[in-house]
Structure 1
């Protein structure tokens, strides 16, 4: 053995000893040397596992916003279609720029990094199998830190329905593309309302499915315990077709479930799925109406009164769920970056493209907006050695139990999606400002429940949206009731 090899072996043994000490093991050098030999064998074996090609992230992507409202970041020269039949045949579709679409750059709305995946995300595969024509990638707030749609590094998306108002985020391009009629369906991602908020601001339908209903393989997470992928469309039926197409278990995402939805690819209509009782009942959570502006609350109440449902007031204490959301989201994003996207045990994604992008992110400055959303909660999590996160998770569990109690005697809950009318631009400066958009949506990410945002009125030309919340895996119930509200 050369002197360099001996030094290298000694260094490896020292690091193995340090790992043993960290884990509290008092063992002999002989045992450590045996463990080191085993580790080297495992490393050689691991090099042969997984044949998918690696991807390299670039720091200066050639990406420019496109569309009349800056709703796109990358598009195919000709929309990509792989089947002429299926539930989405003939429908044009866009996907948020944190979801992999083969051969199109993925930037997560940031000009700091980009990667071009060689393969599709699971949801992209399923859209194509259902006959969709994929147009391209939708603009978004950088790394999904919304919620207003003003924070893409490629320029803010414009709200097609009210140009002086925010389009909502972080799936801003998805909401604008649907509202403008550029596409029939767009996929967004929802961690605290990022599908429902742009749907509400742009006057379209947005569906946050039950956590685990839609696979997240090929998706760059924000907070893995909260993240979902869901559709936006101009009507509930089209959104339901899209959700049915992308839902269901996938072996590449072991967090997925087969509960709650019919087999993907079915072509049944909403009125035929038989999931909604004839005399549907909804609960109106008093606390969520009281937290919303009177003009919004009154519009939603009038829409419920006009719909074919029976309504009753219910109690649902918000508690400290708003504070819990900010703590959980920030802590999980920091951990996700620290681990370069590897979520052990039940991680939703292990693709090289995502890992390469996140490796580049760790070396980049993500900008002031992301820092302002992240640092306070991340600092508190570190200072308390995780106790702040544990307290937030306990609050989330308690809120989830209160949601179940509120649903005990009704089929779903209905409340305003936003607490105000869509705000004017340039107002998202404080936590209170953020809560006008996500205060009514984020709690249900922590509860893991399905929620559908549906336009029910306009006030001064601005959309008013109602949010329908159901029990876990009652996704079709929320959409069926939303359909009645929209009708």
Structure 2
């Protein structure tokens, strides 16, 4: 187990702590939207707090235990996984260990904080629209969204999602690969047989200048630029699908007057306006964008993008949509396409949250991890440091 670098922040990561698993493997925190038998899956919401305890472990919990992992706690999260800040008025907001005045990110906030604080060896979160990758960068750790459908979501909430993926957080690639070996059937680390050809995303929208520093640091590893003209449409389409599916999962509770937080209730009510025609249009964008990414990845081994367009907001800015909504501009489109994507943290020269995202071909999660491992080995900027 890693040395706890910030016990106080680490404590705030958890809804509850316990010991589950008889193995001597890595210690793990699990996001509280994943069932553990005998425990209520609260999803960070008062609306779920009185649910019956889970009757059985989620599939990913069974795999963790079979791999000898020790699950030590359930991690806090943005309410019903429907937000990007990690701010939670009901259960409390995890403290970002590295940037205590900034948001921890969401929705897998507690998972990112637990890893960043050194409270666990790795953590499990879920990523529907950036919810592993964004808090990973916000807290200065590594986060991976696997290929859509590659990890069994049985026992994770919402039960039905066409975008959501279960994925790990860790402080180094060795532990990311160890986590994936545990949770992803057939995953095994691989060695690269050639230097990876990385295509840098042609940025058609602006980013804060300092957010390009990490990409500049790996300029020697890039082989030109890649244009994905559908990025903006894909971002919007993913928002549409998430709104519709989140409403469907929570409609009965909403109509019954369940005690959702004010911000969540407002977003759910707003999602009622998403029409069938808008949903079908979003699905069409999904098909087009997926094909575009597939085609781009025929020319390079992976695509690299900024992880964030600007530094993560201060806690005092957490309710400013102009600060929050752009956070997943480069992340959310790859939930729509289903490609595996990993983020590597690399704080700016001024010490602010930043990093890069790497996207690979669908089904090539092990190769993506190998590319990320090579970048971490070759470029110290991506090595997570104690603070």
Say yes or no: TM over 0.5: yes
Residues 1:166 and 2:103 aligned together: yes
Identify the residue that residue 42 of structure 2 maps to in structure 1: 107
- The match for 1:305 is 219
Cα 1:291–1:407 change in 2 (3 A) is farther
Say if 1:174 and 1:188, in contact at 8 Å, map to a contact too: yes
Distance in 1, Cα, partners of 2:171 & 2:60: 20
- How far did 1:374 drift? 3.0
* Matches of 1:68 and 1:205, distance apart in 2: 17
Q: Distance in 1 between matches of 2:219 and 2:199?
A: 12
Q: 1:150 aligns with which of 87, 105, 110?
A: 87
CA contact (8 A) 2:44 2:90 kept: yes
Partner of 1:355: none
CA 1:313–1:333 in structure 2 vs 1: closer, same or farther (change >3 Å)? Answer: same
In structure 1, the residue corresponding to 2:16 is in which secondary structure? strand
**Cα distance change, pair 82–216 in 1 and its aligned pair in 2 (3 A):** same
Residue aligning to 1:372? 266
Unaligned runs of 5+ in 1: 1-65, 249-260, 263-267, 341-358
1:360 Cα deviation (Å)? 9.4
Describe the SS at the equivalent of 2:289.
helix
- Tell me the TM-score normalized by structure 2: 0.89
Match of 2:381 in 1: none
1:105 to partner: Cα distance: 3.0
User: Aligned match of 2:31 in 80, 83, 96?
Assistant: 96
Partner in structure 1 of residue 242 of structure 2:
329
Alignment partner of 1:456 is 2:346 = yes
Give CA deviations for 1:81-115 in whole Å, capped at 9, x if unaligned. Answer: 2334xxxx1x1101000001123332100123234
Q: Give the equivalent residue in structure 2 for 1:23.
A: none
Any idea what the Cα deviations from partners look like across 1:112-156, whole Å, max 9, x if unmatched? 323422321111111111111110100000000120111352111
Mapped to 1, the partners of 2:351 and 2:232 lie a distance apart of: 34
Distance 2:348 2:255 in 1: 41
Kept after mapping to 2: 8 A contact 1:200/1:453: yes
Residue 181 to residue 229, structure 1, CA distance change in 2 (3 Å): same
> Is 1:123 matched with 2:60?
yes
| Counterpart position of 1:200 | 137
Judging changes above 3 Å, is the alpha-carbon distance between structure 1 residues 362 and 173 closer, same or farther for their aligned structure 2 residues? farther
Equivalent in the alignment of 2:384 = none
CA gap of 1:94–1:453, structure 2 versus 1, over 3 A, is same
Gap regions ≥5 residues in structure 2 = 1-7, 378-387
Question: What is the match of residue 315 of structure 1?
Answer: 227
Partner of 1:419: 309
Q: Assess if the C-alpha contact under 8 Å between 2:9 and 2:95 holds in 1.
A: no
- The Cα offsets for residues 305-357 of structure 1, whole Å up to 9 and x where unpaired, read as 36xx343111111242222122110111222335x7xxxxxxxxxxxxxxxxx
Q: Give the corresponding residue for 2:121.
A: 184
Residue 473 of structure 1 corresponds to which residue in structure 2?
363
User: 1:20-75, CA deviations, whole angstroms, 9 ceiling, x for partnerless residues?
Assistant: xxxxxxxxxxxxxxxxxxxxxxxxxxxxxxxxxxxxxxxxxxxxxx9645110011
In 1, the alpha carbon distance for the partners of 2:100 and 2:9 equals 14
CA distance in structure 2 between the aligned counterparts of 1:361 and 1:185, rounded to whole angstroms = 38
1:32 is matched with none
Using the alignment, how far apart are the partners of 1:475 and 1:167 within structure 2? Answer: 26
Query: Number of paired residues?
Result: 367
Query: What displacement does 1:221 show?
Result: 1.5
Q: Is the 8 A contact 2:10 2:119 kept in 1?
A: no
CA distance in 1, matches of 2:89, 2:363: 32
CA distance in 2 between counterparts of 1:437 and 1:223 reads: 25
- Return the offset for 1:474: 1.3
**Aligned-CA RMSD value:** 2.1
Partner of 1:83: 23
In structure 2, C-alpha distance between the alignment counterparts of 1:147 and 1:477, rounded to whole Å: 28
The reply on whether 1:387 has 2:277 as its aligned counterpart is: yes
Q: Deviations over 1:182-219 (max 9, x none)?
A: 00110000000000011101111101001111101111
User: Following the alignment from structure 1 to structure 2, what is the Cα–Cα distance between the partners of residues 410 and 454?
Assistant: 19
Residues 222 and 332, structure 1, Cα contact 8 Å, conserved in 2: no
